[in-house]
Structure 1
Amino acid sequence: MDDISTGVLFSLLILLLVISGYFSGSETGMMSLNRYKLRHLANQGHRGAKRVEKLLSRPDRLIGLILIGNNLVNILASAIATIIGMRLYGDLGVAMATGALTLVVLVFAEVTPKTLAALYPERVSYASSIVLNILMKLLYPLVWFVNGITNTFLRILGLKVDSGNDSKLSSEELRTVVDEAGGLIPRRHQDMLLSILDLEKVTVEDLMVPRNEIAAININDDWKSIVRQLSHSAHGRIVLYRDTIDEVVGMLRVREAYRLMMDKNEFSKEVLLRAADEVYFIPEGTPLNIQLLKFQRNKERIGLIVDEYGDIQGLITLEDILEEIVGEFTTSIAPTLAEEVTPQADGSLIIEGSANIRDLNKSLKWDLPTDGPRTLNGLILEHLEDIPDAQVSIQIGGYQMEIVEVSENMIKQVKVLSNHLQKTG
């Protein structure tokens, strides 16, 4: 070293600091990459993404390589800085060189390159992967040796060494990714994706047509009454039963019934029974994602929901599940939430008692409890444990409500006061 001029030593020191900054920035850039974007680009044939993905397939080796290179460079830089300090200031120069080098390394070889790499991880990683691939091949024996010692030490401590990269997302993590997609995914598409993720949390009872609202015909009624119900029905399929809806005999296809009657010029109950399909039953508590697959597997579009005793609780169709994902169809004859919620001049809302709690929470950004009754009427009755009179005021979950109309043992309308439209603490 005595034969090397101070100017050359300064040049070597600057070069080593640049190399140190390269290793520091490469490490941060590699670890800051969006792994899913990286995988997508690699699948599209992006060369830089392929190189980086290969390096990240063994992160222990990549980190080992970067740290070996960075430490060797920093140690050599420290030795050169010490020689320069001694040449310029004697023994005092050792302390001066240590302090100055620490500050320079911290600013120019650590903080600055790592900040730039965190801001532009793709640019830094794709470019640096070329050099890192070459270094990995040249220094592989040393990297392998160092990693072997490290992994052995970790095993002695009882820690599991797994070089693989577990990048699987849970449904909640995926929900966060979709929420934070922003303008990258249209809001409408985000809502659909989130609705799909919610299917496993929602059961068939949440969407079913309640037992008392099922379109059904008692096959034991007189023929004129049956014809009148058929002619006024807005449904393509109607439940046929004997005396009580729990005694279902079939699912009538209305169009097929009319075709058979016209073809054979026979108008009788027997024709209706021939036009009825076997009923498809669904156990209560079935999650929507499971039921959607069952509809597909069994080639069914409609089913009756039964409890543990076999009693019918309601009816659900394939369209009901699809509407949960994409929103209500314009052809739906069921009342929409907009028809069940009427804004008032004073800012309050008049809500039908039959309104679905999940729909209210979803549309109005409320937080009413959903672990019990599924309608606003049922929620209030459960809370009061009695059928109230009109003008009774209550508070549920921080929302101030006033009973507006009660009839037929049901709460028909509820008023939610304007100053409690947002949940109070």
Structure 2
Amino acid sequence: MEILSLWAQIGAVVVLLLISGFFSISETAMMALNRHRLKDLVIKGVIGAKTTQYLLAHTNQLLCVILIGNNLMNVIIPVLTTSIALRAFHNHSAVLSITTGIVAFLIIVFAEITPKIVGATYPEKIALPASLIIKPLITIARPLVWFINILVNSILFILHINMNRGRDLRMSNEEWRSVILESSNFIPSKHRSILLNLFNLESISVDDVMTPRQRIESLDLDVPFDQLVKQLETCYHNQLIVYQGDIDRVLGMLHVRKTLAALQNQKFGREKLRELLVEPYFVPSGTPVFQQLQYFQENQNRIALVVNEYGEVQGLVTLKDIIDELIGEFTITLPRMASGAVDGWNAQGECIVTGGISLRELNRRLSLRLPLDGPKTLNGLILELLETIPEADVSMVINGTRIQVMQIDNQAIRTVKLFRPTQLDTV
């Protein structure tokens, strides 16, 4: 009978170790579970998902039951083990010391470390079934849980610890950006790029994506009428800015297709052209791109003129410019030479571009690292660096990119040659 009792106590120790391991593995799996994934499982009606969601919404009760159960098992196990040692080997100090070491080892390995590793590795597979067991335990132990929670809340109140403050923490844009960058195994690269660009919209303005004043295709109402007609018939855009004498004196926006259709009328003249003008839409320089996107949506506009504090036209921004910034260039409305677009590196690792090209476009199309916190164009960047209008054939290196000025036009740089950065250039 004593032998049977001894084996019964050993069996009880094993069972208690398993129960303690169950509480440890459940706690880790519950805390490691993806909340967004859990919501999807609840919608799909997966067994245990709704119960798990309920438990995570009452974390204080969940942790209270798990910790009570786990610590209770870890207290009983040494008591039983000591009893077994005393019964088998009598009161021997060396045996008791060895037994204590063995019990500590078993608890650490089988009731703590191993269950927690497994729980963190397979949170979904473990948390959902475990919730079906833990929830009834919470119901049974409700009076004890209530008493302990009252005691804990009282201690937190005395220590001036506000639990609600911790729950109100929100992730910053940089934290979200880190989450997206680390999700390469789950989000396709193109989707990840769009999400990152979406965060960038908060930090850039319309000045970064607009077509500069010098590159705006516009219509001067003071030129001879036959020249107006010729420009309308050969323009690349569906809408043109119409001004009188100076582009800062904007009269309105002209719909090219409607105007070409009206040209069939022999009585069509300047006054008729004026009647077809639509009131222009102006936005101040420095307007955030994301805010401008909302303005386009609210005003049902697709084109806006960017003006400075003096009312002078700085450039033109369109809905397409913002979308291109978000998802990359996807439509071609101009021949490449007319739009000043970048063709990419040639076989010699060189690329010839215009001085007025946007630095953001160069960085995006050629994978460069030209600074964006100053001038918006390549011409402006070179002039800022040299602090003078350079002569042709002047070369320089900016952030690892070698730049050679090829042509100067009046007071601006007309043509620039870029050289593909190499490891030697970036050192």
In the superposition, the TM-score normalised over structure 1's length comes to 0.91
Q: In the TM superposition, what are the counterparts of 1:18-97 in structure 2 within 5 Å?
A: 18-91=18-91, 92=93, 93-97=95-99
- Residue 375 of structure 2 corresponds to 373
Matched, 1:403 2:397: no
Q: Which is further off, 215-224 or 89-98? A: 89-98
Contact (CA 8 Å) 1:58, 1:164: kept in 2 or not? Answer: no
Contact (CA 8 Å) 2:232, 2:260: kept in 1 or not? Answer: no
- Residue 267 of structure 2 corresponds to 266
- Residue 113 of structure 2 corresponds to 111
Q: State the AA in 1 paired with 2:55.
A: L
Secondary structure of the residue aligned to 1:53 is helix
Shift of 1:199: 1.6
Contact (CA 8 Å) 1:353, 1:411: kept in 2 or not? Answer: yes
Q: Deviations over 1:356-411 (max 9, x none)?
A: 22223234443321111112221111111111112323232343433333333333
Match of 2:342 among 340, 343, 346: 340
Q: State the AA in 2 paired with 1:286.
A: T
Contact (CA 8 Å) 1:260, 1:275: kept in 2 or not? Answer: no
**Aligned mates of 2:18, 2:191 — CA distance in 1:** 46
Contact (CA 8 Å) 1:351, 1:413: kept in 2 or not? Answer: yes
Q: Which is further off, 94-103 or 157-166? A: 157-166
Shift of 1:351: 4.3
Secondary structure of the residue aligned to 1:251 is strand
**Aligned mates of 1:363, 1:101 — CA distance in 2:** 64
Contact (CA 8 Å) 1:302, 1:317: kept in 2 or not? Answer: yes
Contact (CA 8 Å) 1:242, 1:248: kept in 2 or not? Answer: yes
- Residue 416 of structure 2 corresponds to 414
Secondary structure of the residue aligned to 1:303 is strand
**Aligned mates of 2:347, 2:132 — CA distance in 1:** 67
**Aligned mates of 1:116, 1:363 — CA distance in 2:** 46
Q: Deviations over 1:160-204 (max 9, x none)?
A: 113985585433333333333335333222222222222222211
- Residue 331 of structure 2 corresponds to 330
**Aligned mates of 1:164, 1:13 — CA distance in 2:** 39
- Residue 305 of structure 1 corresponds to 306
Q: Deviations over 1:236-288 (max 9, x none)?
A: 111111211111111111222233343x5422111111111111111111111
Secondary structure of the residue aligned to 2:250 is strand
- Residue 124 of structure 1 corresponds to 126
Q: State the AA in 1 paired with 2:259.
A: A
Fraction of identical pairs, as percent: 39
Contact (CA 8 Å) 1:306, 1:313: kept in 2 or not? Answer: yes
- Residue 294 of structure 1 corresponds to 295
**Aligned mates of 1:338, 1:268 — CA distance in 2:** 33
Contact (CA 8 Å) 1:283, 1:307: kept in 2 or not? Answer: yes
- Residue 321 of structure 1 corresponds to 322
- Residue 155 of structure 1 corresponds to 157
RMSD between superposed Cα atoms in Å: 2.5
**Aligned mates of 1:46, 1:181 — CA distance in 2:** 25
**Aligned mates of 1:197, 1:228 — CA distance in 2:** 43
Shift of 1:138: 1.0
**Aligned mates of 1:35, 1:281 — CA distance in 2:** 45
- Residue 283 of structure 1 corresponds to 284
Contact (CA 8 Å) 2:401, 2:420: kept in 1 or not? Answer: no
Q: Measured at CA, do residues 77 and 4 of structure 1 come closer, stay the same or move farther in structure 2, by a change above 3 Å?
A: farther
Q: Measured at CA, do residues 285 and 31 of structure 1 come closer, stay the same or move farther in structure 2, by a change above 3 Å?
A: same
- Residue 172 of structure 1 corresponds to 174
Gaps of 5+ in 1: none
Q: State the AA in 1 paired with 2:183.
A: A
Q: Measured at CA, do residues 233 and 35 of structure 1 come closer, stay the same or move farther in structure 2, by a change above 3 Å?
A: same
Equivalent residues, number: 423
**Aligned mates of 1:369, 1:34 — CA distance in 2:** 39
Q: Which is further off, 242-251 or 36-45? A: 36-45
Q: Deviations over 1:59-110 (max 9, x none)?
A: 2221111101101111111211111111122332432221110001111111
Q: In the TM superposition, what are the counterparts of 1:247-266 in structure 2 within 5 Å?
A: 247-262=249-264, 265-266=266-267
Q: Deviations over 1:218-243 (max 9, x none)?
A: 22222122112212211111111121
Q: Measured at CA, do residues 292 and 144 of structure 1 come closer, stay the same or move farther in structure 2, by a change above 3 Å?
A: same
